[in-house]
Amino acid sequence: MTYLAKPKLHHPSLAKNRVGYTRRDYEGRISTLCAGCGHDSISAAIIQACWELDIEPHRVAKLSGIGCSSKTPDYFLGNSHGFNTVHGRMPSVLTGAYLANRELIYLGVSGDGDSASIGLGQFAHVMRRGVNMTYLVENNGVYGLTKGQFSATADKGSKSKKGQTNNDAPIDLVTLALVMGATFVARGFSGDKSQLVPLIRAALAHQGAAVIDILSPCIAFNNHGGSTKSYDYVREHNEAVNRLDFFPQREEITAEYGAGEVTEVRQHDGSVVRLRKLHADYDPGDRIRAMSYVQEHAARGEVVTGLLYLDSDACDLHQQLDTVEAPLNTLGAAELCPGLAALEKINASLR
Amino acid sequence: MQKIEAVNDFVVKFANINGSGSASANELFARAILRMGVPVSPRNIFPSNIQGLPTWFEVRVTEHGYLGRRGGVDMMVAMNPQTWDQDVREIDPGGYLFYDSSKPLPRAKFRDDIHVRGMPLTEICNQAYSDARERQLFKNIIYVGALTALLDIDPAEIEKLFGEQYKGKEKLLDSNIQALKLGIDYGHTHLKPIAIKVERRDCVGDRIFVDGNHAAALGCIYGGATVCAWYPITPSSSVAEAFQRYAQKLRVDPETGAHRYSIVQAEDELASIGMVIGAGWNGARSFTATSGPGISLMSEFIGLAYFAEIPAVLINVQRGGPSTGMPTRTQQADVLACAYASHGDTRHVLLFPEDPYECFEMSAQALDLAERLQTPVFVMSDLDIGMNQRLCRPFTWDDSRSYDRGKVMTREALDAGADFGRYLDVDGDGIPYRTYPGTHPTKGGYFTRGTTKNAYAGYSEAGADYIYNMQRLRQKFETAKSLLPLPVLCAARYPARFAALFYGSTGPAMQEALDTLAEQGIYINALRIRAFPFQNEIADFIASHSKVFVFEQNFDGQLTTLLVNEAGVNPANLIPVLHYDGTPITARFITQEIAERVSRLNVRPLRHDMVA
């Protein structure tokens, strides 16, 4: 991070996207996180992904819980509405916001303490309901703001900065999301932007519950030897199953690939996810296989990254509830109030 | 032997076993009397159980229209051997015991000062029916038949009710009518008449018969709620369930069939209030229904909504606490928990409905208030109002009424250069403007947090910003007073030194008690509080009486505490009178408490123009 504000003046030659915004228009306030924090790389990836996707910044609602990760929505998309909710309960607030207005893009930002410890219940249930959102877990295995306690994603046997050993079994949010019915499940690494940006783009376009578990090393409390969430450890044990190219609906697919090298998945909104396989045996359309694959590799100490599961026919909460097309927050008394005549009929039925 | 004699003014209590199908038979009994133009007020006193435990159904028959619980029992319909002794004990001297005499009982099981009418119900059922379930269900209808004969209830009204209930199910209709006739015939031929009777009147008028939870749900429909998030908890579950049923009829797009509402049964109360707050933040009217334990779980979120200034409506159907507590018993024991819910310096708006009519009114009004004040608003119902059908004024709605969406800054206003400070007091009423997410590409966006903020929603831990915010919130709370329903005065016929304060479900019993006391020459001015924060009228009322009895259905005198804390009332002027056994407060309890205390205060009326 820097304490020096970036100049507000934009260079006139900065490229604009289709909706007329430069990349700088997607920035937020200056980060107050530690220099080198993985979370800042994720914020940069979100900025990049939104700019590339031609999303109007104010059409995104950013919601978070409590913790270092949950502070980050202030550091990107500065013209969007953001909501720093309570610890571990962002999913319910996001669900309510989504019910109120189905037309905005919902970005949930959380951490491993927020989602796997205090908020495990809400994390699981929001996946079950198919809320149309992109849920990013900035996972560093440690509580940063309270200075270095283990979180529930810390691996068994990993060591804290103070030398304590974690004896509890870790919670794998990717596996949990798969079990609970998330329809887009991925894992990324804050240190690999070329993998992360397309994952976020594809997740934003996904019309259902999309979750990306992003390993994001904590430079202050969890980047030492003995940690399994440090930059070095993740780089050494990263097993990317695929590389992703994402093509929004309107974009022509121009890149060329060798025969048999790629799989294409078309999503509900017409966008195309093109996957270059790195592991020949990996099929992101197979949820059951994805779960065992992730677990098999975890048992070998490998961290599987990439797009792990995608259900291109995802059904979201509003579809399930059969709500009207217009956002509920735009309906007025004319649409909502049945009026006196109907009330008198009800009165008559109660005599 | 003394004999209770009454026409259209008595209490019948049914003692049954939960899950035996008695509830619908007993309701039938109550409705038949209502259809004869005589007001009734039934109360279901039930256990936290689906089958097997004791349950009671108390029907107050009241030509005068006293809908509170009177206290005492004139006739006991004792159908539960488990509670026989207690049930027999409860009958007023000179009252009546109706029971199943199939199995002989020793003389010691009865009392000498009551009138006993036995009917071999099981025997009759066993002869008439071979199927076990039929024996059980029709036994209930048969005893309703016998009571019809004893009390002179018009059987044609019950047959009409059957006709409405079993429309298109002729077989069921016939078998029910047969069972009823079996009971009536037995009653006429074998049972000695009794001296409590129902006579046809025209005292019901256009009133409706409905429970408070259905009324609150309908209020949310009319008030424009589009998001309902809830978690099942007795006694509030039927609010959300009724909202669903009404919405399916009243909130469907006529062309597409799509829903103009959304309902989520959340995984717990934390999630349900979270959803309500998320929806409120995003500009939809939203509510949850819960009870005390739910309020406890929601508390952190309630504080966030208070400080982040997000509209939310909570319908709290109060029950006996804590935690599992007495989930099927009624209390007004969440007053303080709701008034001050959450950590930090928080204060919340409370509405106290008296009956289903006010449940409807106040739920709809709460949705307006929540958006006008940008804060959580509690509708403080309770089990007695929420889960019992009560006779009340018919619901009304002014079709010209529009929703008060509060101070929402639009895209046009932002384009016109309005100075948008999310937490800035521009009008002096403490209420800031808000924007809905997605309003404007470059203006009006802000980051919502608890208290680390300045008036423009920028991150700030500066003391001056915190103080500004807290003082503005206090100003907003002052503003609330002018928007809330005023207290209702029930003035005594003669100038009175003593007064009573009451709220919520105590209302109907209080009306009856005041009349009874006046007959005894004790005149009391009574004020029904309908909202918190308290308006000045309440402090003035207290100040103008030497002693004020505060009637509450809790142990701690919670409203009394709130009055002392928040209305600057001298505690010495207040005498809390508390009813907290989990049953609804009775008129007899109020009458007795006031009469005793007034006499202890050594004040005796000498003449009617010099009254207590």
* pLDDT tens-digit readout, B398-430: 999 999 999 999 999 999 999 999 999 999 999
Confidence (pTM): 0.95
DSSP string over B260-308: S-EEEE-SSHHHHHHHHHHHHHTT--EEEEE-HHHHHHHHHHHHHHHHH
Average confidence score pLDDT of chain B: 95
Question: What's the rounded Cα separation, in Å, for the pair B320 and B333?
Answer: 7
Asked if residue B434 lies in contact with residue B409, where contact means CB atoms within 8 angstroms, the answer is yes
Helices (H) and strands (E) in chain A, counts: 12, 13
Asked if residue A119 lies in contact with residue A303, where contact means CB atoms within 8 angstroms, the answer is no
Pairing status of strand A262-266 against strand B73-78:
unpaired
Contact between A99 and B266 using a beta-carbon 8 Å cutoff: no
**pLDDT averaged per 10 residues, chain B (length 612):** 96 94 94 97 89 93 96 97 96 98 95 97 94 91 98 97 93 94 97 98 97 98 98 97 98 97 98 98 98 97 98 97 85 97 97 98 98 98 97 97 97 96 97 97 94 95 98 98 98 94 97 96 97 97 96 97 96 96 96 94 57 50
Asked if residue B317 lies in contact with residue B238, where contact means CB atoms within 8 angstroms, the answer is no
Q: Of B204, B206, B282, which to mutate for an interface test with A (greatest number of A Cβ within 10 Å)?
A: B282
Helices (H) and strands (E) in chain B, counts: 19, 23
CA distances A34 to A38, A108, A145, A190, A217, Å, are: 9, 22, 11, 15, 11
pLDDT of residue B96: 98
Residue of chain A whose Cα is closest to the Cα of B402: A333
Shortest CA distance to B523 belongs to which of B494, B549, B544, B551?
B494
Question: What's the rounded Cα separation, in Å, for the pair A321 and B97?
Answer: 52
Name every chain A residue with its beta carbon within 8 A of the beta carbon of B272.
Answer: 92
Please tell me the total number of residues recorded for chain B in this structure. Answer: 612
Asked if residue B550 lies in contact with residue B593, where contact means CB atoms within 8 angstroms, the answer is no
Shortest CA distance to B236 belongs to which of B272, B283, B208?
B272
Contact between A100 and B206 using a beta-carbon 8 Å cutoff: no
* pLDDT tens-digit readout, A38-77: 999 999 999 999 999 999 999 999 999 999 999 999 999 9
| Residue-range domain boundaries for chain A | 23-349
Q: Of A29, A71, A90, A92, which to mutate for an interface test with B (greatest number of B Cβ within 10 Å)?
A: A92
| Residue B192 DSSP symbol | P
Asked if residue A170 lies in contact with residue A154, where contact means CB atoms within 8 angstroms, the answer is yes
Q: Of B203, B226, B252, B453, which to mutate for an interface test with A (greatest number of A Cβ within 10 Å)?
A: B226
- Nearest CA of chain A to the CA of B588: how many Å? 29
Confidence band for A258, pLDDT divided at 50, 70 and 90: low
B602 Ramachandran zone, left/alpha/beta (phi>0; psi -120 to 50): left
pLDDT of residue A269: 80
Question: What's the rounded Cα separation, in Å, for the pair B477 and B500?
Answer: 26
CATH superfamily of B210-392: Thiamin diphosphate (ThDP)-binding fold, Pyr/PP domains (3.40.50.970)
* pLDDT tens-digit readout, B176-232: 999 999 999 999 999 999 999 999 999 999 999 999 999 999 999 999 999 999 999
- For B202, list phi and psi in degrees, rounded to 5: -130, 60
* pLDDT tens-digit readout, B279-317: 999 999 999 999 999 999 999 999 999 999 999 999 999
Question: What's the rounded Cα separation, in Å, for the pair B471 and B533?
Answer: 16
- Nearest CA of chain A to the CA of B433: how many Å? 14
CATH architecture of A23-349: 3-Layer(aba) Sandwich (3.40)
Sheet with B349-351: strands ordered across: B262-265, B227-230, B286-290, B312-318, B376-382, B349-351, B531-532
Please calculate the CA angle A274-A132-A88 and round it to the nearest 5 degrees. 115
Confidence band for A259, pLDDT divided at 50, 70 and 90: low
| Residue-range domain boundaries for chain B | 6-197, 210-392, 411-483, 488-600
Q: What is the ipTM of this complex?
A: 0.94
Name every chain A residue with its beta carbon within 8 A of the beta carbon of B276.
Answer: 96
Residues near B244 by beta carbon (within 8 Å), at least 6 away in sequence: B228, B263
Shortest CA distance to A237 belongs to which of A309, A174, A193, A298?
A298
Check for a shared fold between B6-197 and B210-392: no
pLDDT of residue A138: 97
Residues near B146 by beta carbon (within 8 Å), at least 6 away in sequence: B98, B119, B183, B184, B186, B187, B191
Q: Which residues of B373-395 are buried (b: 16+ CB within 10 A; e: fewer)?
A: bbbbbbbbbbbbbbbbbbbbbbb
CATH architecture of B488-600: 3-Layer(aba) Sandwich (3.40)
SS3 A309: strand
Question: What's the rounded Cα separation, in Å, for the pair B254 and B262?
Answer: 17
Name every chain A residue with its beta carbon within 8 A of the beta carbon of B305.
Answer: none
CATH superfamily of B6-197: Pyruvate-ferredoxin oxidoreductase, PFOR, domain III (3.40.920.10)
Contact between B438 and A322 using a beta-carbon 8 Å cutoff: no
User: What amino acid occupies position B91?
Assistant: I
